[in-house]
Structure 1
Amino acid sequence: MHSPRLLVISVDAMEDVDEAYARTLPAFGRILADPARAQIQAVYPTLTYPNHTAQITGCPPAETGIFNNVQMQAGVDHPDWFWWYRMIQVPTLLDRAAAAGMKVATVNWPVTAGAPFDVVVPEIGNEDRTGGVEATMRKACSARGYELFERHRDKIIEKPKRNHGPFAAAVAADVLREDQPDVMFIHLVELDAARHKHGPRGPHVAEALRTVDGRLATILAALDETGGVGSGSTDSGGAATNIVIVSDHGQLDVVQHTNLNALLAERGLMETDGQGHLVSWDAYVHSSGLSGQLFVADGITAEKRRRLEDLLAEVLADPKYRIRKIWTARQARDAFGLDGPFEYVIESDPGVIVGGALDRRAVVRRTDPDFGGNLGNHGHHPGAGDQPVFFATGPAFTPGADAGRHRMIDEAPTLARALGVELPDSRGQAMEELLSGGRN
């Protein structure tokens, strides 16, 4: 008798407050009828890539190396994302499953480009910097994944903003029907996009949840054909499917942009050409949305470092900047498991973007005529706002069990237990309250 399959579906930016409405929808309702559950506290920063990496490693950014969505490329308007699987610095749950002989599939899961698994169709971007879509996907997908990309690429909606949701659902359905993986991770982004554009609350949230429900319906229909949903059904090998819905972060209303790079330029710690293009820098803020990471050049002089430290003290003292705390990298590592090649982490008040713009004023409030960009965002302190979700159903989970508040890094060891594999490098702990012990 085979171990149960594991299907993990990330609904990006789903919050605990969304559950009540989601339960009324057909596909969500099948999974949320009586699931095992937990409220999850994200890793810092509350960004998609650090948290999705934590979900498959059980480790925080200081250990995974994925400390931001995008890489530090000073002065680049749209830096390269942390797309490539090789960038993860610790073993993952996917590695352990593959080593145990399981067939592994990923669809649009962050930081999986080039992963060495059976079916890999990763989330990518900035294709113009990597040879275009075709060349990039040939390198980023598995052979089977590229075949599926070609089959369904017409389902990627390009305008007004790229939407992989229809594509991801169609690919996932074909993988379930044709490949029948033991382990599958899929990422759906429409809810996150709606909250970014319109804000965390409003009728657009229900609309986006309905859209995601349609994607789930496509996926569950394929699963029904090969195994069914929940602990009461079995696949052809006699093992049911464990289905888990997770999310990575919530969102907050954006109330202000604090563009610290503008202040660094004013104080002579950064040089631009007068048109917003970077020439050189001694200190540079790499935005992580509603927080920031401050890099300091290796060759900074003692005088310029004193100038930088004086500026940081001024920013903290002046309420107009709405900067709550400046952590050293060591302090951030001790408090949050956040570390990287930066020297400081900038924590703002909730809803304040710590921006890296070189061509804007230092402070731009939502009420200002030149305010622009998203009305909702994340990257904030993980304790702020509504929280990510974890819902699970299947033979490995106890229906109705509630583990209360847990850390994002506790998800991977919990999923490892459901699969019956070890994850010795995880810093998290399995949510034993949710596990039934049943794997066959």
Structure 2
Amino acid sequence: MKRLTEHLIIISFDCLSALDLPILKDLPHFQEFLSNGALVEQVETVYPSVTYACHSTIVTGNYPKRHGVVSNTLLQPGWSSPDWNWYRDCIRGTTLYDEAKKAGMTTAALLWPVTAKANIDFNMPEIFANRPWQNQIIVSLMNGTPRFQWELNQLYGSIRKGLQQPHLDDFVLASTVHTIKTRRPNLLMVHFTDLDTQRHDHGFSSNEALAALQRHDTRLGQMIEALKESGIYEDSTVILLGDHSALDEHTAIRPNVLLRQQNLVNTGTNGKVKNWKAFCKSCDGSAYIYLKDQADTGTLSKVKQLLDSLLDNPDSGIESILTGAQAAAKGADGTCAFMLEARSGYYFLEDLEGEYSKTITAKDVKADHKYTLATHGYSPEKENYRTIFMAAGKGINPITIPFCRLVDEGPTFARLLGVSLGETDGRVVEELLTY
């Protein structure tokens, strides 16, 4: 298969929305990029539309039920901080970076989700020190490329202030510029989370979100300049994409509180889960209901009766309820008993205690990161909930098209690199490419 580019640079701006397009068109570096590149005005995300499921889709071309990353975090009932789907092994099947590596290309990834312990030449994975006894630098070094990460931390570690934004993205930017100039990878995947953080903490259209978009514009300019200084710009294809949008919300709802009242989740005197029959696994704007025993028809009936009563109540915050089969038909995890979709303005928490619903204030958000003013995870069918895709450089036809799906991106990237992801749920968006 003919290779269309020597260097594919994929830049993910987490939570970039199709609604941001008018703003991007007024920012100098995005404006210049769009004037010479291709644009997909509306990109349909996946269900649930959370970061790790989305980014796994981007590199596989498959829906979550197929690639296996069906939420950000693992099903660990009662854990205050569940572990995330950090590891490459969480993804079933091949990926874009696997196929690029097999074809002899140099690969690099900077805070790209679900890449811990991946076979990537220069890898700084997105993985957190999730336990009090863990050290962030050591956790990162153990799960990525140690010498490469040590080099980046020695050079730019002073920029970072833990996971705080915008410092984290400024560190990622410096690391990206350095990687471009010193490694010149054939495939580079970079993940920025500044915008996502600001929208969670301050709201979708907040001044803080606008400032993050402006910072992203500056970051884009610096990355393009690095490609030019390294001498590979003319042989490169640059992709700018979002993984999902976000919606403002005002109320958090806790179905596990009701499941506990029904004795479907039992806790000890310390408040920790001793055993459970049914559990609500939050994906923010949506949630799975899992049964510990899928053959437990009594629990299934009890849960259905409870959920039906909530659906009949407009104040419950639940917009719709899917069966496991219906969830699978939308690309989500079909092993769930049910999948809940929140009404606009609502989102799910996994808490076992407290009231069923809680109105969220800015004070709550500042005190505890589980509270947010805007979030994602909702159904791709929600109104004004599309993301966006932009591309420029080698192999790109500079046109504007109205629509594609997130699952179409991986096969299109593979085609640019002259490799194949095999049979995928997505298609190559041929109209974006020149041969």
How high is the TM-score relative to the length of structure 1?
0.91
CA distance 1:100–1:369, change in 2 (3 Å): closer
Do the aligned partners of 1:23 and 1:33 also contact (CA within 8 Å) in 2?
A: no
Q: Which of 258, 276, 288 is 1:293 aligned to?
A: 288
How high is the TM-score relative to the length of structure 2?
0.92
Whole-Å separation in 2 of the counterparts to 1:6 and 1:367? 42
Q: Which of 47, 50, 53 is 1:47 aligned to?
A: 50
Q: Does 1:36 align with 2:34?
A: no
CA distance 1:279–1:242, change in 2 (3 Å): same
Partner in structure 2 of residue 10 of structure 1: 12
Partner in structure 1 of residue 353 of structure 2: 359
Q: Which of 376, 379, 386 is 1:378 aligned to?
A: 376
Do the aligned partners of 1:115 and 1:142 also contact (CA within 8 Å) in 2?
A: no
Whole-Å separation in 1 of the counterparts to 2:29 and 2:251? 37
Q: Secondary structure at the match of 1:79?
A: coil
Partner in structure 1 of residue 418 of structure 2: 420
Whole-Å separation in 2 of the counterparts to 1:161 and 1:214? 15
Letter in 2 for 1:391: M
Whole-Å separation in 1 of the counterparts to 2:130 and 2:258? 32
Q: Which of 26, 49, 56 is 1:24 aligned to?
A: 26
Letter in 2 for 1:30: E
**Shift, 1:275, TM fit:** 6.3
Whole-Å separation in 1 of the counterparts to 2:391 and 2:309? 47
What do the CA deviations read for 1:132-179 (whole angstroms, capped 9, x no partner)?
Answer: 223312221114432334322222223766852011111111110011
Do the aligned partners of 1:119 and 1:144 also contact (CA within 8 Å) in 2?
A: no
**Shift, 1:52, TM fit:** 0.6
Using the TM superposition, name which of 294-303 and 401-410 deviates more: 294-303
Whole-Å separation in 2 of the counterparts to 1:262 and 1:341? 22
Whole-Å separation in 2 of the counterparts to 1:227 and 1:69? 38
Partner in structure 1 of residue 396 of structure 2: 397
Q: How many residues align?
A: 426
**Shift, 1:383, TM fit:** 1.9
Q: Does 1:185 align with 2:184?
A: no
Partner in structure 1 of residue 219 of structure 2: 215
Q: Secondary structure at the match of 2:83?
A: coil
Q: Does 1:247 align with 2:247?
A: no
Q: Which of 161, 167, 170 is 2:171 aligned to?
A: 167
Q: Which residues of structure 1 form unaligned runs of 5+?
A: 235-239
Do the aligned partners of 2:65 and 2:334 also contact (CA within 8 Å) in 1?
A: yes
- Identical aligned residues as a percent: 29
What do the CA deviations read for 1:227-283 (whole angstroms, capped 9, x no partner)?
Answer: 364xxxx2xxxxx21001011011101132221000011111112346643232111
CA distance 1:278–1:112, change in 2 (3 Å): same
CA distance 1:126–1:341, change in 2 (3 Å): farther
Using the TM superposition, name which of 416-425 and 123-132 deviates more: 123-132
Using the TM superposition, name which of 365-374 and 135-144 deviates more: 365-374
Q: Secondary structure at the match of 1:324?
A: strand
Q: Which of 336, 343, 350 is 1:342 aligned to?
A: 336
Q: Which residues of structure 2 form unaligned runs of 5+?
A: none
Whole-Å separation in 2 of the counterparts to 1:370 and 1:213? 30
**Shift, 1:2, TM fit:** 9.1
Do the aligned partners of 1:327 and 1:344 also contact (CA within 8 Å) in 2?
A: yes
Do the aligned partners of 1:106 and 1:185 also contact (CA within 8 Å) in 2?
A: yes
Letter in 1 for 2:404: H
Q: Does 1:317 align with 2:315?
A: no
Letter in 2 for 1:205: A
What do the CA deviations read for 1:309-352 (whole angstroms, capped 9, x no partner)?
Answer: 22122112222212122212221111x11115432211121231
What do the CA deviations read for 1:364-395 (whole angstroms, capped 9, x no partner)?
Answer: 23489979721000100112233111000012
Do the aligned partners of 1:256 and 1:353 also contact (CA within 8 Å) in 2?
A: yes
Q: Which of 90, 93, 98 is 1:90 aligned to?
A: 93
**Shift, 1:129, TM fit:** 6.6
Do the aligned partners of 1:397 and 1:434 also contact (CA within 8 Å) in 2?
A: yes
Whole-Å separation in 2 of the counterparts to 1:129 and 1:396? 47
Please tell me the root mean square deviation across aligned C-alpha atoms, in Å: 2.3
**Shift, 1:31, TM fit:** 1.6
Q: Secondary structure at the match of 2:131?
A: helix
Whole-Å separation in 2 of the counterparts to 1:88 and 1:172? 25
CA distance 1:160–1:86, change in 2 (3 Å): closer
Do the aligned partners of 1:270 and 1:283 also contact (CA within 8 Å) in 2?
A: yes
What do the CA deviations read for 1:287-322 (whole angstroms, capped 9, x no partner)?
Answer: 000110111112885544432222122112222212
Whole-Å separation in 1 of the counterparts to 2:413 and 2:137? 34
Letter in 2 for 1:364: K
Partner in structure 2 of residue 237 of structure 1: none
Using the TM superposition, name which of 26-35 and 342-351 deviates more: 26-35
